[in-house]
Structure formats: C-alpha cells, structure tokens
A and B are shown apart, each in its own frame.
Chain A
Amino acid sequence: MPSNHNSIKTRFTYRFARSLKKLNKNRPASQSMKETYRRYHMIRVASYASMASAVGPKRAWSRAVLWKIRNRTLHRTLMKKSRIHVLRTRKVSGNPNDLRKLVPGGEGMDFCRLLNETAHYIKCLRTQVQIMKNIVDHCSN
C-alpha cells in the first residue's frame, strides 16, 4: 500500500518539521552546553511524538509513546533515571523482556503481539531515522 506508507512518512515529516520550526522560534540554539542539551531532549521527544501521532492510535506502541509524552511532566525525573538504568544494565541475551522494555508499551503484551508491534515499530523507526538524517544533511550543507 504505497499510499498508506506514504501518508505515515509524510505525516511524520510534516509534524516533525513543524515542531522543529516552532522549537527554533522559541528556543534558538545557543553556545551554552546546557541549552543544547535541553534542545536535544526536546527534539528527541518531538521526533518520537510526531512519529507516534503520525502512526495514530491504532498501534499499541504509538499509544504508549503518546501517553508517556503527555504525562512526562508528572514523572520526568523518574523516567530519566529508569531509562538510563535500562540502557546501561542491559545484558545481551535473547530475553523477550528486553524487547518489551525497548518497544514502548510492550510490557503488557503477549509475545505474539509484541513481535507484531516490534515489526511495525522497527519500520517506523527506520523511516524516522532516514528522514532525520535527510534533515541533518540538508542543514549541514
């Protein structure tokens, strides 16, 4: 379905570009390290959010992402800590629980569904990465 994938991709790019524009307006890049770090966080969140909203509420992972982002003000510090913890302590083993942690919203799924969501998530992440790369290329040129 070319139209479908096209629509997800285009929706993502559109949303992401818009949010970047807004972000640049509000918070222009400065030399200070702290500011850059903040910007980095916001851009990352914006990219995930725009991808999730582009996919829509049909998928479990996008719902989870949106929920997390919406509620991130409530437990922002907690999330940060746990995320770093997860990323550092992960050992390499074929444990489905690791995948559950990586795929948003994967904690509550059965394995079959998890695999399904993972496939979709991977596709979306790929698109996201590709488009972001394009933007970066364009910006650095």
Chain B
Amino acid sequence: MAAFSSYNQHHPFLIDSVVLHPNSSIIKICEELKNANNTCFSQFSRPEFRQDIVPINLGVRQNRCLDQSTKVSLSNNESNSLMSIKNKNSMESSSVSDKYERSEQVSGQKVTSMVEKKRKPRIMKSSSNSAHSKDMREVKLKKQKNSEYKKQPREEKKLPEEDPKGYIHVRARRGQATDSHSLAERVRREKISERMKALQALVPGCDKVTGKALMLDEIINYVQSLQNQVEFLSMKLASVNPMFYDFGLDLDAFMVVRPDQSLNSLSSQVPTVQQCSPTQPPVIPERNTSLTAANCYSLLDSSSSLLFQQAHMPNTLPQGNGQLLWDVDDQRQKFINETGFSNNLCSFH
C-alpha cells in the first residue's frame, strides 16, 4: 500500500474512490508493482500517468463487468502510472525533464488528448463525482473500451479522418460548439478555402484580389476565356485545313523516329522532348511518347498502327534527326522554356 499512500498525496480523490469500492486484484497488482518498479521511469509521461490511473478507479467504481483481458490491460497501465508516481516522489526534479521528453515522445497522444479536452464538459456532466475534471476527461478513452458511451466512439472514429491540421484548428477555438454538425461544417469550410487557394494559384491574376466573390468571378472569367480560346482556335483550325493534312503525315513520319528514343532512360527522354519541341510543335514528340507508352489503344486507326509497326524496324534512322533537333537557337530556347512551363502547369492531381 505504500504506492497508494504516496499517490494519495497528489490525488486524494482517487484513493477515496478506490477505498469506496475496493478491488482486491488492483491492490495485489499494486503490491507487485511496488516490488518491481525500480527500473527506468523517465519514459513514462505525465499525461499517460493521468490517463492510466483513472480508468482503474472507474473500473472499480462503475463496473465489475470488465472481462479478464481488459483487467490485464488496466493492470499494465497501472504499472506504468504507479512507477511514474514513485519516480515523482523520489526525485521531484526529474519530472521537469520528463515533461520535456513527453513533448517529444507523444505527439500522437497529444492530439488525442486535445480531442479529449474539447469534450471535457460533457463528460463532467455524465460522471457522478467530478471532483477532478481534469482527470475525468482523460478517462474517456478507457470508457470507450468499456463501451459505456456509444456516442464517443463514433466521434473518435470520425475525427482521425481529418488531417492533424484540422485538429489544431478545431482545438484552437475552444469555446465553440463541438457537436458533429458544427465540426463537419468547420471542416467543410476549411476544405473550401483550401481549394480556393489552389485555384488562386492556378488562375493568373487571382492572387491580387481578395474575397471569395471576386475570386470566383476571376475564376469564372478565366474559364470562360479559356473556352473562348478553344473556340477561337478551332475556328482557326477549321480554316487552315490543307496544311494540316501534311502535318498529320509529318506526325506519322515522326513516329518512326520515336521508338528508338524510348529506349533511353526516362530522365533523358524528358529533355529531348522539350528540345525537340521547337522545331515541330511539342505535340509531335509527345504524341509519339503516347504511342510508345501505349500501343494498347484499341482506337488506333489502321494507318497509324501500321506505321507504328513499321516504326520498330528502322532504329538506325533517328540519330541524324536527333542531332538536327539538338542545336537550338535563342528563339527556340524561349519556346522550350515555355513548353517546360506548360509541362509544370499541367500536372494533374
């Protein structure tokens, strides 16, 4: 009982509850622990200690229906906690260092404890003797194990889906409502603002305006302008027909070149694509990559697939072409940069 007496100095109510509802097994465990607890203490942190001590009391007080396995787990927890108590008694100064260690060690537990803090008032109401609310609220995790409160596990399940950033945000406004609706709403708003930020980065000139409405307006204008551009370009394409047929032939001719380049490593392939692009528009090499990468397209029309089959044969051909393409003047260099930029832009997902 020495361990308990030492514990009594710090948290008198806990011992009370134990005395009120004596449980022989716990006392036994305590005695065992007293013998065995001279090992390293520093790793046991204070929140753990609190979290672990209280469930025992609860288990004593509230239900004897704990099955054997939970009792074992409780006893483990208790061992940790009691050791930490002893540690506290023996060397008070070390507790400070323990705290620091804790901050490094248990960041994950911190998060859960934040969640618990948030729900503190409800738990206080539900528990009959809420002398130490601080301890009581950390009971919650164990309570869930005992399946006393069906509501809490659900929320606990829901919250980990959010990112840790969400936790902090929710926790920061402590006075606010904590029911699931407002939490969900808050998360939703956060998501929207996040997407808005992403869009802001995407749409030029959107970072200057402030306010959601203006930003939306800017986005709408941009989408419209892009669509108009598509229309304009298709109008142009409609008028410049005959050249395009040659272009198509050109594409096919280029396809012949391409498969050899695909033999190179991917890293080298990317620059060549960008350097090839100035002479023929970037369409052409990229198209060829699509061919090499995926001849699985069943949609290939007969002529191009034929060409593709032919393409594998002449491997000696492309060298000259490649060298031709490699020397680039300044104008083309500019174009390269442009295409590189566009490549960055169209990173999907």
Binding site for B on A (CB under 8 A): 1-2, 4-11, 13-15, 17-18, 20-22, 24, 28-29, 36-37, 39-40, 43-44, 47-48, 87, 90, 92-96, 98-99, 102-103, 111-112, 115-116, 118-140
Provide the B246-271 mask, 1 if CB < 8 A to any CB of A, else 0: 01100100000000000000000010
Contact between A13 and B270, CB atoms less than 8 A apart:
no
A112 CA to B195 CA, complexed, in Å: 8
User: Given A119-B202, A139-B240, A93–B213 Cβ distance below 8 Å?
Assistant: yes
Contact between B290 and A44, CB atoms less than 8 A apart:
no
Q: Nearest-CB distance from A27 to chain B (Å)? A: 9
Contact between B241 and A28, CB atoms less than 8 A apart:
yes
Given the complex, which residues of A lie within 8 Å of B1, measured CB to CB?
Answer: none
Q: A1-B347, A44-B231, A122-B226 are in contact. List 4 more A-B contacts (CB 8 A).
A: A10-B293, A13-B283, A36-B238, A119-B198
Q: Nearest-CB distance from B74 to chain A (Å)? A: 43
A139 CA to B240 CA, complexed, in Å: 7
Q: Nearest-CB distance from A17 to chain B (Å)? A: 6
Q: Nearest-CB distance from A22 to chain B (Å)? A: 7
Interface majority SS (helix, strand, loop, mixed), chain B: helix
Given the complex, which residues of B lie within 8 Å of A112, measured CB to CB?
Answer: 188, 191-192, 195
User: Interface size (B, Cβ < 8 Å)?
Assistant: 66
List CB contacts (< 8 Å) of B327-349 with chain A.
342-343, 345-349
User: Given A7-B293, A13-B283, A14-B291, A125–B343 Cβ distance below 8 Å?
Assistant: no
A127 CA to B196 CA, complexed, in Å: 21
Which of A10, A99, A120, A132 has a CB less than 8 Å from the CB of B230?
A132
Contact between A24 and B248, CB atoms less than 8 A apart:
yes
A90 CA to B228 CA, complexed, in Å: 14
Which of B199, B248, B347 has a CB less than 8 Å from the CB of A2?
B347
Contact between B217 and A17, CB atoms less than 8 A apart:
no
Which of A6, A47, A135, A140 has a CB less than 8 Å from the CB of B289?
A6
A89 CA to B314 CA, complexed, in Å: 57
Contact between B224 and A115, CB atoms less than 8 A apart:
no
Which of B195, B217, B280 has a CB less than 8 Å from the CB of A93?
B217
Contact between A125 and B230, CB atoms less than 8 A apart:
yes
Provide the B221-239 mask, 1 if CB < 8 A to any CB of A, else 0: 1111011011101111111
Given the complex, which residues of B lie within 8 Å of A118, measured CB to CB?
Answer: 199, 219, 223
B8 interfacial by beta-carbon distance below 8 Å:
no
B304 interfacial by beta-carbon distance below 8 Å:
yes
Given the complex, which residues of B lie within 8 Å of A111, measured CB to CB?
Answer: 192
Q: Nearest-CB distance from A75 to chain B (Å)? A: 20
Which of B198, B242, B297 has a CB less than 8 Å from the CB of A28?
B242
B203 interfacial by beta-carbon distance below 8 Å:
yes
Given the complex, which residues of B lie within 8 Å of A48, measured CB to CB?
Answer: 230
Enumerate the 9 nearest inter-chain pairs by beta-carbon distance, A residue then B residue, closest first.
A94-B213, A29-B241, A10-B290, A134-B281, A115-B195, A40-B238, A39-B238, A94-B216, A44-B234
B244 interfacial by beta-carbon distance below 8 Å:
yes
Contact between B239 and A36, CB atoms less than 8 A apart:
yes
B215 interfacial by beta-carbon distance below 8 Å:
yes
B282 interfacial by beta-carbon distance below 8 Å:
yes
Contact between B245 and A21, CB atoms less than 8 A apart:
yes
Interchain Cβ contacts under 8 Å between A and B, 23 examples? A4-B349, A6-B286, A7-B294, A20-B237, A20-B244, A29-B241, A43-B237, A87-B224, A94-B215, A99-B216, A99-B220, A102-B220, A102-B223, A102-B227, A112-B192, A119-B195, A124-B346, A125-B230, A126-B345, A126-B346, A129-B233, A134-B283, A140-B243
